[in-house]
Every structure is written in C-alpha cells, then in structure tokens.
Amino acid sequence: MDSSRSLEHVLSMQGGEDDVSYAKNSYGPAAALASSKEILTSAIHSIKLTKGCSYSHLKIADLGCAVGDNTFSTVDTVVEVLRKKLAVDDGGAELEIEVFFSDLPSNDFNMLFRSLEGKVNGSSQKYFAAGVPGSFYKRLFPKGELHVVVTSSALQWLSQIPEKVMEKGSKTWNKGRVWIEGAEKEVVEAYAEQSEKDLIEFLKCRKEEIVVGGVLFMLMGGRPCGSMSQFGDPDTSVKHPFSSSMNQAWQDLVDEGLIEEEKRDGFNIPVYNRSTDEIAAGIERVGGFKIEKMENLRIADHMNDRQEELMKDLDSYGRTRANLAQAGLKPVVQAYLGPDLTGKLFKQYAIQAARDKEILMKNCFYSMIAVSAIRV
C-alpha cells in the first residue's frame, strides 16, 4: 500500500451493520455534523447562481459519503434548506434535485443503495440519487455541473502514504509507530507536504465542477495552528484510537514474533489533520473560491460522560474502543496483514485499551474544521 492506486482500492470505512461497522461507530462525525449544521445552513443560504442558471434542476454531490445515517443527514439538510430558500427566491417554482453519493470503489455501496430507497421515498425531501465511485482527489463530474458540494469527515484521509515515509532507514521512516502523532519532525513534515498536494488537487477539481455562485462545504479533522501534534491536547493525543493503544497492539504482534519490526514500520495510517492556516493557504493558492466562514469546532468524545460506568466493565470498554478503531481502519489493515493477523491485532488493541485505567479517565476532544466557500 505504498501507492495511491493500491490505497484507493482498499481504503474505506468498515461496511455492513455489525458491531465493528462504521454505521455503528460514527458518533464523532455525527456530533461534528450537528455542531456544524448552522455553518452548512448559512452556506446554502449564500448560494448565488449567476443569471441564466436554472433553479429548477439543482445538483448536489456528497464526496467521501461512506455509509450510515450521517450520509443521509447531511444531504437531507442541504435539500431541505435549498427547497425553503428557492421557494422564497423563485416564487415556489417546481424544483428537481439530483444527489450524487461519491466515495472510493471500496466503499460499501451495496449497503448505501439498500438504505437509499427507504430514505428517499420515506422523506418529504425527495430527490433523485446516483452513486459515483472514485477518488475526490480527481475529477468526478463534468465542468460546471454541480451547485452544492459537501464533504464530511473525509478530507483528513490522504490519497497516499507520502513516498518519503516509505524510504526505509531515512529520517522520514516512521520507525516504531503506525501514525504521525508523536513521530519525528521529518515524518510529520512529509505528511504535511502530501496533505498540501492533496488539498490543492481536491480544490482544483471542485473549481472546475462547481458552477459560479455554487457552494463548497468541507468538514474535516483539524488541529490548532502552529501545533506539531495532530490534536494540541495531550489527553486526546494518548487516547485517540490511532495513537497509544494502536501502537501497543502492533508492538504486541512484534513481541510475539507474529510480524517483524519492519512489517510494522511499513504500515502507516494515511490521515493528517490540517490547521485553518493550511486550509486557507490552499484555497488562496487555487483561487476560484471565497471563504464565507471557517471555524474550528471542539467535539467531545461520546465516552467522556460515561467514564464511571465504563470502569465497571473494562473488558467491554476495551472491545468498544477496538470497535471504534476497526470502523475506520479494518479494511486497510486487513489488506496489509490478512484476516487472521488483523483479528489478532484488534484483540490486542481491546486488551491494551482495557488495561490502562488512567487513559480511560481522560477526557478526549477532537478538533473538526468546518469551511464554507462560494465559487467565484
């Protein structure tokens, strides 16, 4: 998985509806969507289609849509606000809305489509729907085709592991870790370079696809400006699903002789949390968009208020944390290790998470950056 092509074909949120599925473990993204709803609503109200554009047929794209209720709640908000806005602006003319749900080919589109019919037909906010498989770091639609583009909890995922990080023995070789939290400066900088390239490509593509006056709304993992940490908060740094327990679980596989150190060091989680400065710089460099609003949201971990309860059953807590990690990582880990070692890894993860009571009692907060921009 050292190339964008191979990563593109295995990276996805865990499909299905079982205990380790993304659909059952997307509390954080749901909370972030709720916190950013006002910004999204304001963005839709600011849509300013140029003279000659038809208000009767509008096209929306949800990029990195994944699966589950969050997928539909974002689109429902956009459709509802659009209908209300245009009922006033356009004198109640009949409006047809087309929605494109897009994600990598490895996404569980089967589940998405199974859920789609009931969601659309059971809603007063009906729309035409289609699936579009592909990377949002490439063009997905014809020029000037879209009126609203939303992407939620997806842009922190990179198109590939930075090539520098795959150079064994170099300063950018991420030895002893599977992510960049706590990594050497050179490793973090390599991720930052890849992140910048990816954001530029994403914005260039959307610049071509969105009509003038249309809206781009982005909600992504973030961090404070100037922080080398992906969080800027030491408690979150040790408790995040990708950090301490994850590194310890991989080390367990090494200690038990199940994998070599080099095998562990060759796996890297392709996630980078940007700062508002990095996002603003990318938008300015590409041009074609005017930032309407950008806000760093502080999202509380859904387990913060349940610590005393969770202390009573540490094994259950460990499994819950492992399920959360698997929801985002199981497909890519399994492509790298195979099913047997992947099962062993997450079993060790659950043991490690249950073992450390001190980490359990820490409060965890995530930064999510919400950005609304108008195509100019």
Residue 287 lies in a domain: yes
Residue 247 lies in a domain: no
According to the model, what pLDDT value does residue 155 have? 96
Cα–Cα dist 333/41, whole Å: 37
User: How is residue 1 written in tokens?
Assistant: 């998985």
Residue 215 lies in a domain: yes
Count how many domains the chain has. Answer: 1
According to the model, what pLDDT value does residue 54 have? 59
Residue 235 lies in a domain: no
289-300/128-133 β-pairing: unpaired
In terms of residue numbers, what domain contains 94?
Answer: 4-228+268-300+366-375
According to the model, what pLDDT value does residue 289 have? 97
Residue 325 lies in a domain: no
In this prediction the pTM is 0.91
According to the model, what pLDDT value does residue 5 have? 46
According to the model, what pLDDT value does residue 281 have? 97
Cα–Cα dist 296/357, whole Å: 30
Residue 153 lies in a domain: yes
CATH number of the domain where residue 280 is located: 3.40.50.150
According to the model, what pLDDT value does residue 118 have? 66
Residue 38 lies in a domain: yes
According to the model, what pLDDT value does residue 108 have? 84
Residue 81 lies in a domain: yes
What is the per-residue pLDDT across 47-92, written as a single tens digit (0 to 9) for each?
886 545 556 789 999 999 988 778 888 899 999 999 888 776 655 5
pLDDT along the chain (376 residues), means of 10: 60 76 74 89 84 73 88 89 78 79 89 76 73 95 96 94 92 93 93 97 98 96 88 82 89 95 94 96 97 92 76 83 87 92 94 82 86 96
